Amino acid sequence: MTVIQTNLSADRSARLLRAASEDVQRSLLKLTSGNQFANPANPSTEAIMASRHRGSIRRLQVGRENLTNALSFSQTQEGFLEQAAKALSRMGELALRAMDVTMGDQQSGGDERRFELVTGNFSWTQAKSDAENRGGKLACIKSAEDQSSVEAVMQGGSYWIGGTDEITEGQWKWVDGEAMSFENWAAGEPNDVAGGENALQIYASGKWNDLPAINTTLSGYVIEFGSEDSSVPAHESEYSALAAFVESLGSKAFNQVSLFAGQTMQVSRDEESHSLQTRGIDLAAATYSSTYTPDSEGYFLRGSAQAHARLLQVKGAIEQLQQDRATVGAFAKGIDLADRMLTQSTDMLKQTLGRLTDVNIAEESTRFARDQILRQTATAMLAQANIMPQSVLRLVDLERS
């Protein structure tokens, strides 16, 4: 299991804040001591060294800005990849469910209607949606032949079947909308006791009775599979929505730079061209795209063979995603390390500079400290933006302006 370091930004903000405070203190000391610089027209060795040091500090600052941007980029990537992980994990569950549901279709050799018993405590309303989740519907008994097929799968109890008069009292219909023609009511039924019996029960004897659709549970229901006009099963449409979501992540950008187009990422941290580099994350790669590309008719999970293939593709994508998240995490860690080193170098240079210089430099340091505080605020905003990736671009624009 991949663990991603997520509090780097907080660490970094803390360091920036400390550096900023030290700058302010140093400036105040200088201002109160009033230590004067040598005559500028005739620069001392100290003045020349001080000028060099200031140059180095500026260059280190540029390196740290690059690192800040790279860190925000990585954390934004991680935010999206976390969402992708959740989506893929759900897609795997759906593919698995689709395999269960469609296995039977193949056993029975295609599109013949077929009844099965589902046991468990359900109200009629719960049974109806459970049947739909399984890619079927509550049994619709439209002939004496259907009646005996249903009786054949029953196991001695009484169960829900797919009749209802909930739309118009007394007008019984099947859940597929068809009006009842064949009927097998028990004597005196339907009696709509207390005006509240709108759902159809089949007794162990095979006779029918009306019961309340909610707050009354039976120990199971009869499910029907295989009618061709059935709408797209719930798992297919949920998978399809998640697939579109994962695909859409591929076009996300940070500060106008694509997050997942697979390009190598390189950050220079100083002018001796030391740079950090990491491989790109490519959400358009086949390992991922196979999970979000439907077949030629727009289906993802039609038939158990396709659902099985889909499950393997999702597994592959989840493995790739773990590697990719590890890569992003390692890069963020490397950035953080480089940033620590630059902060140290900057601190050392500033201390030396402090020994060499005077009140004017202190003023500059004060300005610098103020900049640092602003920068810290920006970092905190970006860390926040990482939690809500949609707002990243807007925040980055604010930082730039």
Partner from ligand MFU, Ca ion, none binding residue 255, C-beta < 5-8 Å depending on class: none
CB of 116 to ligand MFU, least distance (A): 25
Q: By CB under 5 A, which span of 153-161, 209-217, 237-245, 301-309 interacts with Ca ion?
A: 209-217
**CA 341: distance to chain centroid?**
34
223: left (phi over 0), alpha (psi -120 to 50) or beta: beta
Q: Of the two residues 67 and 211, which places its CB atom closer to ligand MFU in the complex? A: 211
Q: By CB under 5 A, which span of 77-85, 191-199, 294-302, 349-357 interacts with Ca ion?
A: 191-199
Q: Of the two residues 73 and 221, which places its CB atom closer to Ca ion in the complex? A: 221
Residue 290: half-sphere exposure toward Cβ, Cα within 13 Å:
17
Tokens of 170: 């007394």
Rounded Cα distance, 365 and 230, in Å: 73
Rounded Cα distance, 340 and 221, in Å: 64
Selected from 23, 78, 210, 339, the binder of Ca ion by CB under 5 A is: 210
Q: By CB under 5 A, which span of 11-19, 190-198, 225-233, 266-274 interacts with Ca ion?
A: 190-198
Selected from 121, 129, 191, 231, the binder of Ca ion by CB under 5 A is: 191
Residue 305: half-sphere exposure toward Cβ, Cα within 13 Å:
3
The yes or no reply on residue 209 touching Ca ion (CB under 5 A) is yes
The string of DSSP codes covering 83-136 is HHHHHHHHHHHHHHHHHHHHHHHHHTTSS--EEEEEEEEE-HHHHHHHHHHTT-
The yes or no reply on residue 270 touching Ca ion (CB under 5 A) is no
CB of 165 to ligand MFU, least distance (A): 13
Binding interface with ligand MFU (CB under 6 A):
189, 191, 193, 197, 209-211
Q: Of the two residues 209 and 322, which places its CB atom closer to ligand MFU in the complex? A: 209
Q: Of the two residues 78 and 210, which places its CB atom closer to ligand MFU in the complex? A: 210
CA dist list (Å): 216 to 102, 116, 129, 160, 268 = 30, 21, 15, 11, 68
CB of 211 to ligand MFU, least distance (A): 5
Find where tokens 């950008």 sit.
253
Residues that bind Ca ion (CB under 5 A): 191, 197, 209-210
